Amino acid sequence: MSAVPNPSDDHSKRDFLRVEVGLAAQLITLEGAPKSVRILDLSQGGARIAVPESMSTVGIRDCLLSWLNFEAFGSVGRRTGNEIAIVFDEPLRPVVIKKTKDHSPFVVRSL
């Protein structure tokens, strides 16, 4: 599932292909109770998630992302508006990406 670098692609620095998923998840931090979030896209190396506008992401560094029957530890890589990028401590196995994709409302399946 490694991405093939494309010099004209702005995302060529990524190590893994990303899949749009749009699934509900829980973000668990050291600072407090689990928060409901939405995974916008997912790769073996991380995830981009949308957080509620009422949720402050200031100070969040280490976290656990939990979705379906999966979870991954990681750290916040960047914050943009109500989105944060999580870099996983350990890459996800390809089967996790496949099973997540199978449950995704954004994936077009055969007609």
Tell me the pLDDT tens digit for each residue of 71-92.
Answer: 999 999 999 989 999 999 999 9
The structure's pTM equals 0.79
Q: Would you mind telling me the total number of residues written for the chain in this entry?
A: 111
**CATH superfamily label, 19-94:** predicted glycosyltransferase like domains (2.40.10.220)
Give the residue carrying structure tokens 């790769």.
Answer: 43
Q: Smallest Cα–Cα separation from 23: which of 80, 70, 93?
A: 70
Q: What percent of the chain has pLDDT over 70?
A: 80
Rounded-to-integer distance, Cα 57 and Cα 65, Å? 14
What is the token pair recorded at 108? 């077009």
User: In the numeric block, which tokens belong to residue 22?
Assistant: 């749009």
